[in-house]
């Protein structure tokens, strides 16, 4: 799965999670949402389900008849339990004979007519109906959105299929399915597997029959029905189909046409052909995730159907989403994690294959830049550091975190580097063939790679997967002229505690002298050690882990001239990026600014030019501003220009910057640059910003791109005169993404106005999930504790989609913290008045300041990443 905010750049989601996670630590919540961490013991093997569904669309009701074919696993079994939440069970038969049944809040229990023994088979038929609180979603035209196409779609992962089908709902079982859907004649449907038949039914309806003959887990069951446009292609005789909400069919191929090429690449790399009978991608409105890899039938958010006018401005477009969900068809669907604690076996591989596609399809520099960003993103989430990738203690946070995704992908990337491409894919092929159609734990992967290659990876997995964190290196060197020898001192400075230990890593070290570069491989394994390397002269550049293959942070003690040389001469983007970041720390150094300016204009990799622009923005002084302005003349690519324009938002008190931003905001050829210019004007709190933003809100652009940027910018601007505009565009009836932007900014204005808090809180229960998310986060950032009860009652509802509960919980914790520091503030003033214990008052104030700065930094980071990478 890919989460809503992570689409196209999962980093975004992570930034937001980071924000709340720190605050959440002190608060203990009842276990209302955590998934079952360990695989269940099973009494039976569910083998096949015939799922027959009709819908009362107006009532948002499902009317179901499901027949489960199952085999008993233990002698003496006297009853069969199904997961079933909120469904009204009308009748049950066992082998066609009417049967008694009981229901609890979460179970349907069917006593067997006699005690059964192992191997005995039963057909259990259940007739039921219900209005699913989640799992199955009805997106329908209403008074606010009278023209939207009707859609019904499901989202099973992680434990929501039970809300619309009584079934065995945990990953450690697999079944084949037949799905029979009766819908209005003008609708189409999508379900797992092959389309067998479409026939006329009474009352101007049609009945669609789908059959999936390969077994997979219940969370991968899918149903999509409604008014859709369809495009059909094929790959090696397998149907490849795409569905867009009616009227948006022309947007499918410009964004999705690389799908067959990806199927080709992954099949070849893995030596295991795409395994399912078809591959469909259905794009649906208001989706609760970014994408979901249901077996043979992915569902994605319709916001991945980007306007053709914007596509050229997004290098790689929607490829990360498309390749991620496709890779899951092998990793997740064909071979499935046995429990949620091993979810990285799904998500880590899906993330790795985003990189595999980039490496194959795009220039090396682009793939390197994407990986560089992934490393930076994981490093920016200190709350993940102490948690192992495989863990079963996710009561207080989602297991779908950036350890499973980002770190999982980067660790697999490292593994491929360490054992080599051939051994890596030989191991994966053996893993997929051995466990095809089965459920796995991490040990199965270790064993498969060993069996295929005779390579024992236990230590690697102990450190990177079962252990936590990543090495924090401190590196320095001296050169001995007489011995022609370099002494490289490497320390691992991470605190060894909990799951974090000392890492054993092979590291490539490149030493460049006047006669050229030489590559050495050292084996780092201690807290501190010194490596002696031959060198034919004094080095001009020493690179530790050149190319940045290892997930790590490193403090390399170098002189400025070395960083300048490295920025200009290092072959790999990661090494030049490291130099750019080091030089940015020199703040007011003219040489550093000039060197970054040269990189911004002349580096061959556009990704590095982005890094240089960001570095200059971080320096934030007049000289850096001058280089950024000059960079606009040299860079025509929209994805570099927009970074430069974004970085200009950090250059304060320079009228030339504001003039330039105003001009770009209204007339640049790049929409992303115009959008970032609008946001930089807000961040700079420019006097001319309000009219420019107001105009931009009123104007039209593809996908409302500029309006949405202007609305977000009104939040940074912090001018309360923007409130009426924001209230207007937050309201039901406006486009969903526009409302998301307006609500986020509204949260930041007139912070004492309880009416605004109440307006935002009123959106918490809307059926539009993206709006719910926007309201949850806006209330958290608003800091008005009067929103706590509304958030708490949201938490009690049974219709929270995946990942929503942890987000709500984090924002409540944030508000409680805010409330506490406000109380602390009162105490502080009292103490000052009374005049005693002045030291304590000062300490309190410092604490508050520190807290405030941390919060502001977090917010800024979260917002910036949302803006630059949306």
Residues that bind Zn ion (CB under 5 A): 1, 347, 350
Nearest residue (CB) to Zn ion, 1 versus 89? 1
What are the residues whose beta carbons fall under 8 Å from the beta carbon of 246, sequence distance 6 or more? 149, 227, 228, 229
Q: Of 1 and 841, which CB lies nearer to Zn ion in the complex structure?
A: 1
The span from the CA of 624 to the CA of 709, in Å, is 25
CB of 794 to Zn ion, least distance (A): 26
Which tokens sit at 592?
């550093």
List of residues 6+ apart from 122 with CB closer than 8 A: 44, 69, 70, 71, 72, 80, 94, 95, 112, 116
Asked if 714 and 747 touch (Cβ cutoff 8 Å), the reply is no
Instruction: Classify residue 107 by burial, with Cβ atoms within 10 Å: 0-12, 13-18, 19+.
Output: middle
State in angstroms the smallest separation of the CB of 330 from Zn ion. Answer: 12
Q: Which two tokens stand for residue 838?
A: 């002045």
For the CB of residue 323, give the shortest distance to Zn ion in the complex, in Å.
Answer: 11
Give the C-alpha separation, 49 to 216, whole Å.
Answer: 11
Geometric angle at alpha carbon 786, from 855 and 708, rounded to 5°: 60
CA distances, 829 to each of 780, 825, 852 (Å) = 26, 6, 17
Position of tokens 């979260």? 862
Query: What is the smallest separation between the CB atom of 374 and Zn ion, expressed in angstroms?
Result: 14
Please identify which residue in the block is written with the tokens 């959008």. 675
- Provide the minimum distance between the beta carbon of 327 and Zn ion in the complex, in angstroms, as a whole number: 8
Nearer to Zn ion, 1 or 22 (CB): 1
β-bridge mates for residue 279, sequence order: 240
Closest approach of Cβ 419 to Zn ion, in Å?
24
Residue 743 parent element (H or E): helix 736-746
DSSP H or E run through 659: helix 655-667
178 versus 370: smaller Cβ distance to Zn ion: 370
Question: 506: helix, coil or strand?
Answer: strand
Q: Which is nearer to Zn ion, 2 or 573 (CB)?
A: 2
Specify the residue, 350 or 844, whose C-beta has the smaller distance to Zn ion: 350
Closest distance to Zn ion from the beta carbon of 6 (Å): 9
Smallest gap from residue 294 Cβ to Zn ion (A): 12
Q: How far is the CB of 351 from Zn ion (least distance, A)?
A: 8
Shortest distance (Å) from residue 627 CB to Zn ion? 39
Contact criterion met (CB below 8 Å) for 37 and 339 = yes
Closest contact distance (angstroms) between CB of 1 and Zn ion is: 4
Nearer to Zn ion, 347 or 828 (CB): 347
Q: Whole-number minimum distance, CB 404 to Zn ion, in Å?
A: 9
For every residue of 16-82, DSSP letters joined together read: HHHHHHHHHTT----SSSPPP-SPPP-SEEEEEEEEEEEEETTTTEEEEEEEEEEEE-STTEEEEEE
Torsional class of 703: left (φ above 0), alpha (ψ -120 to 50), beta (otherwise): left
Distance CA 350, CA 332 (A): 8
Q: Which residue, 294 or 701, is less far from Zn ion as judged by CB?
A: 294
Nearer to Zn ion, 347 or 858 (CB): 347
Q: CB-wise, 158 or 512, nearer to Zn ion?
A: 158
Strand, coil or helix: what is 524?
strand
- Six token digits for residue 312: 């050229």
Nearest approach in angstroms of CB 137 to Zn ion is 19
**What crossing angle do the helices spanning 11-24 and 804-834 adopt, rounded to 10°?**
50
* Cis-peptide into 161, omega within 30 deg: no
Sign, CA torsion 849/854/860/862: negative
Separation between Cα atoms, residue 333 and residue 436, nearest integer Å: 9
Least separation in angstroms between residue 7's CB and Zn ion is 11
Distances (CA, A) of 297 to 182, 282, 838: 19, 7, 66
Q: Which is nearer to Zn ion, 16 or 644 (CB)?
A: 16
Residue 212 or 347: the one with the smaller Cβ distance to Zn ion is: 347
Instruction: Compare residues 3 and 757 and give the one whose CB is closer to Zn ion.
Output: 3
Report, in Å, the least distance between residue 442 CB and Zn ion.
Answer: 17
Three-state SS for 481-504 is CCCCEEEEEEEECCCCECCECCCC
CA distances (Å), 467 to each of 300, 379, 389, in order?
A: 33, 16, 7
Closer residue to Zn ion (CB): 344 or 556: 344
Q: Which is nearer to Zn ion, 225 or 350 (CB)?
A: 350
What is the C-alpha separation between 554 and 544, in angstroms, rounded? 9
Tokens of 247: 């009227």
């Amino acid at each position: 799965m890919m989460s809503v905010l992570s689409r196209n750049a999962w980093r975004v989601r992570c930034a937001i999670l980071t924000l709340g996670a720190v605050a959440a630590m002190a608060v203990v919540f009842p276990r209302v949402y955590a998934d079952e961490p360990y695989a269940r013991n099973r009494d039976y093997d569910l083998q096949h389900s015939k799922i027959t569904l009709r819908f009362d669309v107006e009532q948002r009701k499902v009317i179901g008849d499901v027949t489960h074919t199952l085999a008993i696993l233990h002698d003496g079994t006297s009853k069969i339990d199904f997961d079933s939440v909120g469904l009204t069970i009308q009748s049950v038969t066992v082998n066609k004979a009417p049967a008694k049944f009981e229901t609890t809040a979460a179970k349907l229990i069917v006593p067997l007519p006699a005690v059964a023994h192992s191997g005995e088979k039963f057909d259990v038929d259940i007739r039921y109906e219900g209005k699913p609180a989640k799992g199955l979603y009805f997106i329908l035209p209403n008074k606010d959105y009278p023209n939207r196409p009707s859609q019904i779609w499901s989202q099973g992962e992680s434990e929501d299929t039970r809300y619309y089908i009584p079934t065995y709902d945990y990953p450690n079982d697999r079944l084949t399915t037949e799905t029979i859907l009766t819908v209005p004649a003008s609708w189409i449907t999508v379900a797992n597997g092959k389309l067998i038949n479409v026939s006329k039914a009474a009352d101007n309806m049609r009945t669609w029959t789908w059959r999936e003959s390969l077994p997979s887990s219940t969370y991968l069951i899918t149903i999509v029905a409604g008014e859709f446009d369809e495009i059909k292609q094929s790959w090696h005789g397998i149907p490849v189909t795409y569905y867009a909400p009616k009227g948006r069919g022309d947007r499918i191929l410009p964004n999705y046409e690389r799908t067959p090429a990806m199927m080709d690449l992954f099949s070849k790399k893995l030596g295991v052909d795409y395994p399912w009978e078809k591959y469909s991608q259905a794009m649906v409105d208001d989706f609760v995730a970014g994408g979901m890899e249901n077996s043979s039938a992915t569902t994605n958010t319709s916001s991945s159907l980007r306007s053709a006018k914007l596509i050229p401005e997004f290098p790689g477009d929607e490829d990360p989403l498309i390749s991620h969900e496709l890779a899951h068809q092998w990793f997740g669907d064909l071979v499935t994690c046995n429990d949620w604690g091993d979810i990285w076996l799904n998500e880590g591989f899906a993330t790795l294959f985003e990189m595999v596609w980039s490496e194959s399809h795009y220039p090396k520099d682009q793939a390197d830049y994407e990986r560089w960003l992934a490393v930076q993103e994981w490093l920016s989430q200190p709350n993940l550091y102490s948690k192992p990738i495989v863990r079963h203690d996710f009561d207080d946070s989602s297991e779908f975190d950036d350890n499973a995704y980002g770190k999982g992908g980067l660790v697999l990337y490292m593994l491929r580097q360490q054992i080599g491409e051939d051994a890596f894919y030989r191991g994966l092929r053996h893993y997929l063939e051995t466990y095809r159609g089965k459920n796995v734990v991490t040990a199965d992967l270790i064993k498969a790679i060993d069996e295929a290659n005779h390579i024992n990876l236990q230590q690697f997995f102990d450190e990177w997967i079962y252990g936590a964190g990543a090495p924090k290196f401190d590196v320095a060197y001296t050169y001995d002229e007489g011995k022609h020898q370099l002494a490289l001192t490497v320390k691992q400075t991470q605190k060894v505690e909990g799951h974090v230990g000392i890492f054993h890593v092979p590291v490539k070290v490149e030493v460049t002298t006047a006669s050229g570069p030489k590559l050495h491989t050292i084996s780092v394994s201690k807290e501190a050690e010194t490596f002696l390397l031959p060198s034919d002269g004094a080095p001009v550049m020493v690179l530790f882990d050149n190319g940045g293959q290892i997930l790590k942070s490193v403090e390399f003690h170098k002189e400025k001239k070395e960083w300048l040389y490295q920025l200009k001469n290092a072959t790999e983007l990661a090494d030049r990026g490291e130099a750019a970041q080091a030089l940015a720390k020199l703040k007011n150094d003219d040489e550093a600014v000039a060197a970054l300016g040269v990189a911004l204009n002349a580096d061959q990799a556009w990704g590095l030019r982005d890094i240089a622009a960001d570095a200059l923005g971080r320096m934030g002084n007049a000289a850096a501003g001058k280089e950024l302005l000059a960079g606009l003349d040299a860079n025509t690519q929209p994805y570099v220009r927009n970074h430069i324009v974004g970085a200009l938002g950090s250059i304060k008190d320079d009228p030339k910057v504001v003039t330039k931003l105003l001009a770009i905001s209204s007339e640049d050829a790049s929409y992303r640059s115009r959008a970032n210019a609008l946001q930089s004007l807000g961040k700079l709190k420019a006097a001319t910003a309000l009219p420019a933003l107001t105009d931009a809100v009123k104007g039209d652009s593809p996908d409302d791109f500029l309006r949405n940027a202007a609305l977000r910018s009104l939040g940074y601007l912090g001018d309360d005169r923007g409130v009426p505009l924001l209230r207007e565009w937050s309201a039901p009836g406006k486009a969903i993404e526009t409302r998301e932007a307006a609500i986020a900014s509204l949260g930041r204005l007139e912070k004492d106005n309880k009416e605004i808090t109440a307006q935002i809180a009123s959106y918490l229960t809307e059926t539009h999930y993206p709006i719910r998310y926007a309201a949850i986060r806006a209330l958290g950032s608003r800091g008005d504790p009067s929103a706590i009860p509304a958030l708490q009652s949201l938490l009690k509802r049974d219709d929270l989609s995946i990942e929503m509960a942890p987000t709500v919980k984090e924002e409540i914790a944030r508000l409680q913290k805010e409330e506490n520091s406000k109380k602390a503030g009162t105490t502080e003033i009292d103490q000052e008045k009374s005049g005693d214990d002045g030291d304590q008052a000062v300490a309190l104030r410092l604490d508050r300041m520190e807290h405030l700065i941390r919060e502001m930094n977090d917010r800024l980071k979260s917002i910036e990443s949302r803006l630059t990478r949306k």
